[in-house]
Amino acid sequence: MNKFSLELLFQIIGIGSASGLIHKDNTLLVIGDNSGFLYEYNIESTDLNHHALIENPSANIPKKLKPDFEAIASDENHVYVFGSGSTENRNKMVTLDRNSKKIISTSDLTNLYLSMQGFGNIKPEDFNIEGVVFTDGTWYFFQRGNGGTGKNGVFTVQSKNLEEDFTILYNEYKLPKIKGVQASFTDAVLVGGDIYFLAAAENTTSTYDDGEVLGSLIGKINPGKMKIGKTKVISETQKFEGITLFSQTKDQLTFLLCEDNDTDKLESGIYKLTLEL
């Protein structure tokens, strides 16, 4: 992870505050933390389709009312979209059919999120799920430590029903600082046998209020040992909140990242990050 390149690949008009994305077959699925839609963007044709995640969806939901969809994961047949859990109205998980993008179910994760808070000794006002990885029946929930206690952690959850039947393991991490401020998890993706994560430094002690952006880094976790390997600062000015694999060779990994601009402007930059292995 010694050498990297980062470039703006394209802009998507119509999506604001992008918070997560999945790439497959020249298509991007994108969520925004102030939006009630799952967006489907064709990279080649630039067509943008909207799929409702809630009743009466809007592209710019007021902060007090928004479901705060911050994490997106998938398996072969489904797409899963998660609220951050940072307030009581942000505890939903929406499950969609992978092909049709139609809603299969909407789940209330209040019990799971409360159990996570208790298990991790995290105050409700400091709880903030920003990334989810799903593989082989195991869920990895990334807690962003941008609250007052600064607790970054990963909840490893075994479950067939996230609403009421689950077991939890928790690992807490102290991430590197950027410009004197500790970075906090913003998203993650599984590549081979490793989890690559994003973390951003923001000058705030609130999961609700935004602060000055001080930069972003990328790092790697081995799921077997749950130990963090090398990390690399990739920007000192941007807050990247979504990561997905774009392509890979034996010597190189290329990711697509989305940037949360923390504004009501319906425009999202998609960046290409290339890492030399």
| Model pLDDT, residue 209 | 61
CA distances from 271 to 22, 173, 240, 275 (A): 13, 27, 9, 13
d(CA 276, CA 200): 21
Among candidate residues 24, 39, 25, the one with its CA nearest the CA of residue 81: 39
Specify the pTM.
0.96
Percentage of the chain modeled with pLDDT above 90? 89
pLDDT digits (tens, 9 = 90+) for 148-203: 788 999 999 999 899 999 999 999 999 999 999 999 999 999 999 999 999 999 87
Q: Report the Cα 17 to chain-centroid distance in Å.
A: 12
Strands 27-32 and 18-24: antiparallel
The torsion defined by the Cα of 30, 33, 38 and 40, in degrees rounded to 10, comes to -30
Work out the burial of residue 54: count CB atoms within 10 Å of its CB; fewer than 13 is exposed, 13-18 middle, 19 or more buried.
middle
Q: How many domains does the chain contain in total?
A: 1
Residue whose entry in the numeric block shows the structure tokens 């869920």: 139
Mean of pLDDT over the chain: 94
CB 277 within 8 A of CB 251: yes
- The enclosing domain of 98 has a CATH number of 2.120.10.100
User: Hey, which residues does 188 pair with through a beta bridge?
Assistant: 197
Provide the domain limits for residue 231: 4-276
